[in-house]
Amino acid sequence: AKFYFAPKDAKGRTVRVGRRVRVAGMPDLSGIKDARSRREVTAVFRHVRGRCMKVRSFSRYGFADLHFKILKGPLAGWHSIEIEPALLLVQKER
């Protein structure tokens, strides 16, 4: 099966590698069956919601790849997430 996402943000703007994006939504995480894993992944996505970061790359299915560091708390450390481009908002160039 091919799950391909167009590189378009929530407003239909093109998402490109290197562009700053704001995480505007939460993906559906109900497919994660292990409750502990789902709690951790949900907490990571809650942490990044509303924040801006650069798109590092795209997965072969069209997910945007974001890397970031959580500074404090039980999830402190480097994280990498893949998220549907439609859950992002491209930010204006500075």
pLDDT of residue 3: 60
Quick: pLDDT tens for 29-80: 999 999 999 999 999 999 999 999 999 999 989 999 999 999 999 999 999 9
pTM score, whole prediction: 0.89
Contact between 27 and 89 under an 8 Å Cβ cutoff? The reply is no
What is each CA distance from 4 to 1, 16, 26, 59, 61, in whole angstroms? 9, 15, 18, 9, 5
Q: What is the dihedral of CA 32, 41, 52, 27, to 10 degrees?
A: 20
Higher confidence at residue 93 or residue 14? Answer: 14
Residue 48 phi/psi, 5-degree rounding, is -85, -15
